[in-house]
Amino acid sequence: MTNPLLDFTGLPRFDQITPAHIAPAIDTLLEEAEAAVEQARKVTPVTWDTFVTPLEDATEKLGRAWGQVTHLQSVMNSPEIREAYNAALPKVTRFFSALGQDQALYAQYRSLAQSPEFNGYDQARRKAVENALRDFRLGGAELEDDKRARFTEVQQELASLSAKFSENLLDATDAFALYVEDEAELAGLPADVLASCRAAAEEDGRKGWKLTLHMPCYLPVQTYADNRSLRETLYRAYGVRASEAGPAELDNTANIERILALRAELAELLGFDSYAEVSLATKMAKTPEEVLGFLRELAAKAKPHAQRDRAELEAFARDELGLDTLEPWDLAWASEKLRQARYSYSALEVKQYFTEPRVLKGLFGLIHDLYGISVEEDEAPVWHEDVRFYSLKDASGRLVGQFYLDPYARPGKRGGAWMDDCRNRRELATGGQTPVVYLVCNFGKGVDGKPATLSHDEVLTLFHEMGHGLHQMLTEVGTLPVAGINGVEWDAVELPSQFMENFCWERGRVQAMSGHVETGEPLPDDLFDRMLAAKNFQSGMQTVRQLEFALFDMLLHSGFEPGSTDVMALLEQVRDEVAVNRPPAWHRFPHQFGHIFAGGYAAGYYSYKWAEVLSADAYAAFEEAPEAVAETGERFRREILSRGGSRTALENFTAFRGREPEINALLRHSGMAA
């Protein structure tokens, strides 16, 4: 047990894992998993206990250890971790790819599905077997030998290319620094951002302030810096990251082309017309046409609102700000000025009221009100001093789940916010295994002894990620392949996360979790009224921006032809159709679109909007019965969160709502209802 990655007796020993542990641990676990597969291929009779359980035991250990490695690679990236990760990645990919194509295992699952025992299984076990059979088909198990070998090669190369895409983006983001010595050039920037930038410069042994492309710096510069050329400098640097405009070794151009070509080849090998069809085989939406129809219907409703938003902003910029042309680096700044003028409040003013400790207290209070679950601080080995650990307990004191919270941005940590599972729920002969998850954000850290303050958008982000975490932690399903978010259709996976965001707009909730960083006073009523009035400020522009990304993704993956599809030209066509804000021709958005090139969202980015229909409609149930929060919360937990992937997402939703989802609530919440 000297290698912490081989210890599964409790929580991961993050304080002890070093890059040197990675290769030996993964090699050992691969060997064990391969032995278990060998055994599973020939076991008779095929039952859950003789076949599924031993196979799950071995692959779960490998998955958990590899999960810790990929997690560290995301949050504590270093040359040593990267090297160890990249050395092990092909072996792990090869194993899981071979597993998905294993003829003997496929035959064993087929005989399990045809066995007398199968009909006596509960819903979760039956669904797990049906999903396994489907995944074998999608994993190439029905291919002839030569095609199966090629399929494996394609999957391995895709895994390496996605990792490389992500590394290039991280390195290109980390590589930029602008040192400013004259404070006058930074006019308009918030005091906490200035303090962070000054601390960053000091750390580098430099005078003045250090500006970077990390969100806690980049976004405030775009939104508040009055210096137009400073905004432009950072916008340009941000817009060409990981492209031909920078160092050749960080250019993602070839990676994009190769990833798309390999995905098209993979689809062809499986007998699909496009990679989009492969992607949709495990989703609620059934065809690319259905998705494109959904996105275009929403675009038709949103674009007039977006055009109105843009016209208002142009007029305001011209008449009040003296800008004859509204450049892309003016958008956030001018929008913030318009918001202040129209609603007499700035996001910056609001930010002073949301200190991290108060927001967490409010979030944990909501979890208790909805589900009767208490969140308590707990202890665990962590990978960085900023990380905290919490336990969830029900009314009887039973441990339900646990989570790590890694809240702040830092070098070597990839941008964005996400939830990932560390250990899933599972019923074992020795008892139940409780879920553990990672919640990762990139907020600015508090300085000068003050707590971190969050913008309202960041509060939404925190609630969003906790929604994913609750989906994983509150599952009552003990069958691993359909526990938590396992087996949940990807386009429904955002339902519990987006659902949580709605509570950040309830007056009582906001007051309970706000307290001014200096005085402790809760957010004043009139300020909240102005926030509410501004809630749908520019929602048309925001909606078409998301639709632009989703349409680009779906069209790219449903019609890509190697050698003839021009990725940038396709993006421009999509913008002709839906966009009201056009980035310059030199902007390289695809080179930074990690969601589809390095994440799980290829031909699935539409899921955000698709799930927003579900989440808005689900929250409407709480609006319809404001006096029954606990009862409605209990029903939401019982029918959606606790079920995991043991039923289809549509069955879960219909059981909760009593009908199929409707789009009206989304349009109403976005201020775009007729």
pLDDT tens digit string along 19-37? 999 999 999 999 999 999 9
Are 121 and 55 in a shared domain? Answer: yes
- Helix or strand (DSSP H, E) at 376: strand 374-378
Q: What is the pLDDT of residue 428?
A: 86
Residue 469 CA, distance from chain mean position: 11
pLDDT above 80: residue 619: yes
201 and 94 within one domain = no
User: Is 87 in the same domain as 22?
Assistant: yes
Q: Please, which residues bridge with residue 438 across strands?
A: 404, 420
List all residues 6 or more positions away from 344 whose beta carbon is below 8 Å from its beta carbon: 530
> What pLDDT, in 10s, does the model give residues 386-425?
999 999 999 999 999 999 999 999 999 998 999 999 999 9
Residues 387 and 514 in one domain: yes
Any domain includes 655: no
Structure tokens at 77: 């990236």
Q: Is pLDDT at 146 greater than 90 in this prediction?
A: yes
465 is known as an active-site residue: yes
pLDDT reading at 243 higher than 70: yes
Query: Residue 362's closest CA among 471, 509, 490?
Result: 509
Strand pairing of 374-378 and 178-180? unpaired
Cβ distance 373 to 406 under 8 Å? no
> What is the full DSSP assignment across 84-153?
HHHHHHHHHHHHHHHHHH-HHHHHHHHHHHTSGGGGGS-HHHHHHHHHHHHHHHHTTTTS-HHHHHHHHH
3-state secondary structure at position 274? coil
Do residues 103 and 210 share a domain? no
Q: What is the pLDDT of residue 674?
A: 66
The reported pLDDT for the residue numbered 345 is 85
Residue type, 194: L
| Same domain (yes/no): 362, 442 | yes
Whole-angstrom Cα distance, residue 439 to residue 82?
21
Residue pair 93/53 in contact by the 8 Å Cβ criterion: no
- Is residue 307 included in any domain, yes or no? no
- For residue 391, count other CB atoms closer than 10 A to its CB: 19
- Going 621 to 625 to 629 to 635, the CA torsion angle's sign is negative
Q: How many domains does the chain have?
A: 3
CB 645, CB 485: distance < 8 Å: yes
Confidence of residue 562 (pLDDT cuts 50, 70, 90): confident
How much is the pTM? 0.87
Total residues found in the chain within this entry: 674
Mean pLDDT, to the nearest integer, of 499-508? 97
Any domain includes 476: yes
Rounded CA-CA distance 331/348 in Å is: 17
Answer yes or no: is pLDDT of 82 > 70: yes
How many helices (H) and strands (E) the chain has is answered by 26, 9
Mean pLDDT of the chain: 96
pLDDT tier for residue 431 given thresholds of 50, 70 and 90: confident
Q: For residue range 304-347, what is the model confidence (pLDDT) as tens digits?
A: 999 999 999 999 999 999 999 999 999 999 999 999 999 988 88
DSSP annotation of 396 reads T
| Token pair 């400073």: residue | 230
CB 375 within 8 A of CB 391: yes
Task: Clarify whether residues 164 and 187 are in a common domain.
Answer: no
Query: Domain end: 467, 502, 533, which one?
Result: 533
Residue 639: inside a domain: no
* pLDDT tens figures, 158-192: 999 999 999 999 999 999 999 999 999 999 999 98
**What confidence category does residue 1 fall into, taking pLDDT thresholds of 50, 70 and 90?**
low
Structural domain contains residue 571: no
From residue 114, give the alpha-carbon distance in Å to each of 51, 119, 120, 144, 481: 14, 9, 12, 24, 19
- Say yes or no: 437 and 466 in one domain: yes
- Which among 503, 530, 531, 514 is positioned nearest to 619, based on CA atoms? 503
The last residue of one of the domains, among 240, 263, 289, is 240
Query: Is the predicted pLDDT of residue 3 greater than 80, yes or no?
Result: yes
Q: Give the C-alpha distances (Å, rounded to integers) separating 268 from 154, 558, 560, 599.
A: 12, 12, 12, 22
Domain span at 410:
356-533
Give yes or no: residues 20 and 99 share one domain.
yes
Please name the amino acid found at residue 614: L
How confident is the model at residue 462, as a pLDDT?
98
Q: Which pLDDT does position 175 carry in this prediction?
A: 96
471 belongs to a structural domain: yes
Contacts of 657 (CB under 8 A, 6+ apart): 617, 618, 621
Q: How far is CA 444 from CA 195, 274, 347, 405, in A?
A: 11, 41, 15, 14
- pLDDT at position 153 is 95
Task: Give the tokens for residue 336.
Answer: 């913030």
- Angle, vertex CA 409, rays to CA 403 and CA 411, nearest 5: 120
CA 560 – CA 556 distance, rounded (Å): 5
> Do both 23 and 159 map to the same domain?
yes
At 2, list the tokens.
């000297």
List the Cα angle 426/432/433 in 5-degree steps.
60
CA 366, CA 501: separation in Å to the nearest integer?
11
Does residue 656 have a pLDDT over 90?
yes
**Whether residue 190 sits in one domain with residue 48:** no
CA distance 523 to 271: 57
Is residue 348 included in any domain, yes or no?
no
| CATH code for the domain in which residue 84 is found | 1.10.1370.40
**Overall average pLDDT of the 613-632 stretch:** 96
Helix (H, G, I), strand (E, B) or coil at 430: coil
Q: Distance between CA atoms of 600 and 79, rounded to whole angstroms?
A: 24
Residues 416 and 468 in one domain: yes
Among candidate residues 637, 270, 284, the one with its CA nearest the CA of residue 488:
284
Tell me which of 56, 356, 465, 612 is the catalytic residue.
465
**Full 3-state SS string of 463-516:** HHHHHHHHHHHCCCCCCHHHCCCCCCCHHHCCHHHHHHHHHHHCHHHHHHCCCC
* Residue 445 domain-assigned (yes or no): yes
Whether a cis peptide bond, with omega within 30° of 0, leads into 45 is yes
